[in-house]
Structure 1
Amino acid sequence: MNAYRLKPVRFPWPPFLYAVAIVAAFALGHLVRLPLPGRSVLILVGGLVLMAGMLLDLSALKTLITAKTTVMPHKAASHLITTGPYRITRNPIYVGYTLSTVGIGLILGNPWFVVAAIAAALVTDIVVVRREEMHLLARFGIKYESYCRQTRRWI
C-alpha cells in the first residue's frame, strides 16, 4: 500500500513551524529594531489582517469538523473537502496562520513577523503541503486532481 495513503506526515508540523516563526520574529525584533512609520494605520491594518486570518482558519476548521474529517495535519483524511474556504485555496488553515502572523507583526510594529510568516509558509509548503498533496492524491485520485486544477494551492 502507498505510504502516503495512510497519513501525510508523522508530526503536526504547521502549528509548530508558525510558533517557531513567531518566537524568532520576537527575538529578531529585540535584537534588530526596524521601525515602521504610520503606527496607528499599521495597528488598524494589522488588526484587520489578524482577524481575516483567524476567521479563515476558524471557517476552515468548522468546514472540516462539519464534514467529519480530521483537522490534524498528521492524520489521514477521510473525505476530500472542496467547500467553504477550500473553494478558494487548498490550504486555508495555513493561509490563515500566515495572515495571522503578519497581522501580529503589523500590530506590534515588528516587520520581522512578515519575514517569519513568509519563511514559515515556505517551510510548510516544502515539509507539509507537498506530502499532504501526495496523501490526498493517493486517497482520492482523479477527484483530487480535478480539485487541484480548479483551486490554487495558496492564493
Structure 2
Amino acid sequence: MVLAISAAGLMIGAYMIPLSAFSAPVVFSMLIASLITDSGPLASLLQTRPLQYLGRISYAMYLSHAVFALPLVAWLLHGNYVFAYQLTGAAAFLLASFALTHFMHEYVEIPCRERIYAWADSLTRDEALPLLRDCPDDRGRQVEKLTGSYVVDP
C-alpha cells in the first residue's frame, strides 16, 4: 500500500517538479510491484466488477472519447457558465462517452479482434498444429476442434 501511495504522489508531483517525468519508469514499476501479490486494498478495489469492466472497455474509450471531449470542453471552459451548468455538461459527456464506448467495444473492437485472431490462426495453423496440440490452454483445444483431430493423453 505504501508503494501505491508513493507512486500516486510521484504521478501527481510530475507536473510540479521539473524533469520528474523521467521518473515514470520507476513510478510505474513501484505501482506494479505494489499489485504483484494480488492482495491488499488497492488490488481488491481493482478486482471489483465496475473496474474490471472499465479495464475491458478502456481501449474503446481511448479511441472514442475525443468525439465528445474536444467540442464540449472548448464550449464549457471558454464560456462564463455557472458550476452547475459545467457539472451537467460533464455528466452529459460521461454518459455519451460511455454509450459510444460500449457500442464501439461490442460492435467494433470484439468482432475485429476475433477476425484478426481467425486470420492469424488460418495463416499459422499448418505450421503450428504440432505445437498447439501439445499446448494445454484453450487456444490449443480450439485448433484441435477446427481440424477435427483430438489428442488423447495416455
TM-score (structure 2 length as normaliser)? 0.28
Instruction: Point out the structure with max Rg over C-alpha.
Output: 2
TM-score (structure 1 length as normaliser)? 0.28
